[in-house]
């Protein structure tokens, strides 16, 4: 079976715009303006989403650095829950899932080492 790529909204509007340029119609200019507006709205929507993603990634990187520095300062292996107890006083919005996510990112960057002892994950700064 052939791999068929789905037509996106943007690509569809661009095709319609191309067709409108080739035909004659009494409302041609209005239709072209409408289609261009729709394409512009799609571009703005994509930019807003990517901007949110960039901001979230920046905050995650900052928090990961804080978690890493805490691990370095402690000098011993800690679980995500133990790290949360240390950081909870300063960062009230943190929860154990977020700390685990940040530790997983640090693990992927090879900044921390993970050891599993009796079904508990302990993290150490490298």
Model pLDDT for residues 35-79, shown as the tens digit of each residue: 999 999 888 877 767 777 888 888 888 999 999 999 999 889 999
What pLDDT shows up at residue 60? 87
- Quote the DSSP letter at residue 78: B
Are the C-beta atoms of residues 124 and 76 closer than 8 Å to each other? yes
CB neighbours of residue 22 within 10 Å = 6
- Rounded to a whole number, what is the largest CA-CA distance in the chain? 76
Q: Which CATH architecture has domain 9-125?
A: Orthogonal Bundle (1.10)
Task: Please provide residue 76's backbone torsions phi and psi, each rounded to the nearest 5 degrees.
Answer: -125, 165
pLDDT category at 102 given cuts 50, 70, 90 is very high
pLDDT-wise least confident of 6-15, 38-47, 101-110: 38-47
Q: Write down the domain spans for the chain.
A: 9-125
Q: What are the C-alpha distances in Å from 118 to residues 52, 115, 121? A: 39, 10, 8
What pLDDT shows up at residue 68? 92
Residues 6+ apart with CB under 8 A from 55: none
Mean pLDDT across the chain = 88
Are the C-beta atoms of residues 106 and 114 closer than 8 Å to each other? no
Q: Is the pLDDT of residue 34 over 70?
A: yes
């Amino acid at each position: 079976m052939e791999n068929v790529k789905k037509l996106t909204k943007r690509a569809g509007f661009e095709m319609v715009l191309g067709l409108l340029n080739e035909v004659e119609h009494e409302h041609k200019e209005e239709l072209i303006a409408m289609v261009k507006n729709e394409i512009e709205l799609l571009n703005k929507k994509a930019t807003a989403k990517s901007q949110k993603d960039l901001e979230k990634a920046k905050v995650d990187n900052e928090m990961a650095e804080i978690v890493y520095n805490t691990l370095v300062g402690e000098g011993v292996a800690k679980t995500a829950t133990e790290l949360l107890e240390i950081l909870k006083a300063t960062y009230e919005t943190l929860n154990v899932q977020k700390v685990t996510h940040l530790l997983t990112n640090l693990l992927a960057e090879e900044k921390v080492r993970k050891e599993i002892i009796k079904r508990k994950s302990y993290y150490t700064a490298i």
